[in-house]
Amino acid sequence: MVRTIGIFDSGVGGISVLQHIREALPEANLIYVADSGHVPYGGRSAAFIEARSMALTRFLLKHGAEAIVIACNTATAAAALPLRKQFSKIPFIGMEPAIKPAVAATQSNVVGVLATVGTLESARFAALLDKYGGKVKIVTQGCPGLVELVERGDLHSVEARRLVERYTTPLLEAGADTFILGCTHYPFLAPLIREVAGEAITLIDTGAAVARELKRRVDTELPPRVRLGVVGNETFHTSGDAERATSIVSQLWGQDVEVKPLPQSYC
């Protein structure tokens, strides 16, 4: 049998993580769920996000997922612990803002964090600041509207540039030379962020590290299932408009895909 990995996010942003997972596990079948019917999670209550995460996990497990990536910083903060408690035999790999590598990368000793309000207000983020902030100044910036841009596939418009300028200007004025992309949607805006903030800025994205951790846990915690020569496939589901999602996911994934509607019982 071929390995099956489940991935979910509040919307299509987790496609940025999926790309790294495909590189790390070329033989695995990947099932991706975009909860675009409820995006963004940033302004939602922890109880709501936990309930959605439980529903999406049940869907992925029903379809054979042996490990699950919570490809959303906000969902990780709100739901990782209850998910691990409820499904104790399943490896869960979550996301978190990459404070440690950003602190190591900065030359100005000022790090900017671009994230959703939910991530910035979470206890998990506060703990990361306490653990890794040290003598480096951490400047945070909530970014309402950026998730919605990516959900629309709007990566280069005047509106996109205006929002990116609004959110990066305070970080640059504070002296930040390193930005943490604290939401899985934001890597798709990285080219625009570089245009606005300058090519010298260092952008930290945790997708590759999550893929490495997933591979490590799959290799050490799950029984081997790989057949030599097998190439995995990807399937996509959404709780939002499937036709619209097909267009956006194809754009972000870089090839034509079909996004299927999530069954109503999981919406």
Grouping H, G, I as helix, E, B as strand and the rest as coil, residue 243 is: helix
The CATH number that domain 99-204 falls under is: 3.40.50.1860
- Catalytic option among 18, 30, 31, 72: 72
Q: In 3-state terms, what secondary structure has residue 29?
A: strand
Give pLDDT, residue 130.
Answer: 86
Do 4-95+207-266 and 99-204 come out as alike in CATH topology? yes
Which residue positions in the chain have pLDDT lower than 70? Answer: 226-229
Compute the CA torsion angle 207, 211, 212, 216 (nearest 10 deg): 150
| pLDDT of amino acid 195 | 97
The pLDDT assigned to 227 comes to 61
| Helix/strand/coil for 141 | strand
- Report CA torsion sign: 40, 43, 46, 48: negative
For the whole model, what pTM was predicted?
Answer: 0.93
pLDDT value of position 118: 84
- Name the 3-class secondary structure at 133: coil
What integer pLDDT is reported at residue 226 of this predicted model?
Answer: 59
pLDDT at 97: 87
State yes or no: cis peptide before 97, omega within 30 of 0: no
CATH topology of domain 4-95+207-266: Rossmann fold (3.40.50)
Q: Any idea where the domains of the chain sit in the sequence?
A: 4-95+207-266, 99-204
Instruction: Say which of 149, 160, 180, 183 is annotated catalytic.
Output: 183
pLDDT of residue 228: 61
Q: Is-catalytic flag, 183?
A: yes
Q: What angle do CA 267, 62, 255 make, to 5 degrees?
A: 70
